[in-house]
Amino acid sequence: MNQPDVLPIRSGAYLIHKSTAPRARHETFSAAEAEAIRLLGANPGATFIISREEARVRLHRSASGIPLTRRKS
């Protein structure tokens, strides 16, 4: 396999997906990059996007089912 191009994007878009979507979590950019390169070997011609989780948004409900106020992390 040829050496892949890794293109850092400093002002890229924020990506939104369901938290139930399968994904791997990596503690460092280097680890995520290595995994993307590994996956590229199994999926030639694909493009893999490395994104950082900034926040999770969900609705918290009380036992009665009534939405509670926003929780701060």
Range of the domain at 70: 26-73
What was the pLDDT predicted at 4? Answer: 78
Per-residue pLDDT reduced to its tens digit, 37-71: 888 888 888 888 888 877 777 776 666 666 556 55
70 found inside a domain: yes
Count of domains for the chain: 1
4 found inside a domain: no
Q: How confident is the model at residue 9 (pLDDT cuts 50, 70, 90)?
A: confident
Q: Closest Cα partner for 71 from 60, 55, 62, 56? A: 60
Per-residue pLDDT reduced to its tens digit, 15-29: 666 656 657 788 888
* Integer CA distances (angstroms), 59 to 16, 33, 52, 67, 68, in order: 16, 32, 22, 7, 8
pTM for the model:
0.59
35 found inside a domain: yes
2 found inside a domain: no
Structure tokens at 64: 């009665």
50 found inside a domain: yes
Which residue did the predictor score with more confidence, 8 or 20?
8
